[in-house]
Amino acid sequence: MDIINESLRCCINNMRKRFRSLDLVNQNIIACLREVKGVRYFEDKRRDQIVFALPLTSLTTKISYPCGGVSLQELVRLSNHESEDPLQGSFIFLVNALSNQGFDCKRLIN
């Protein structure tokens, strides 16, 4: 068991060295999100994780009475179309909030 644990530890250390820049980006995003008004978070120190709750978009209801029924493909298309604007607005809110905290959001937009 000691050999397996040591092997796993070495693998994790190698991955952390290789992706150190990704760790820094994640730390910056976490630090910025903690400062954004309207964003709540829960930190679980035992599991070494943090969960963010972004502001919810308002619910919308659309009632349609099709003459010949609706296929699942059409229903998914309509649902995606209805959610595009609110999701775009939430994305812009997030990008602006992170930018205001000093995070470089160019990677998120491209």
Q: Check: CB of residue 29 under 8 Å from CB of residue 98.
A: yes
- Provide the domain count of the chain: 1
**pLDDT for the residue numbered 107:** 66
Q: Check: CB of residue 52 under 8 Å from CB of residue 33.
A: yes
Q: Where does the pLDDT of residue 109 fall: very low under 50, low under 70, confident under 90, or very high at 90 and above? A: low
Q: What confidence tens digit (pLDDT) does each residue in 94-105 have? A: 888 888 777 777
User: Can you give the residue range of the structural domain that contains 34?
Assistant: 2-109
Q: Check: CB of residue 108 under 8 Å from CB of residue 28.
A: no
Q: Where does the pLDDT of residue 13 fall: very low under 50, low under 70, confident under 90, or very high at 90 and above? A: confident
Q: What confidence tens digit (pLDDT) does each residue in 86-96 have? A: 778 778 888 88
The size of the chain, in residues, is: 110
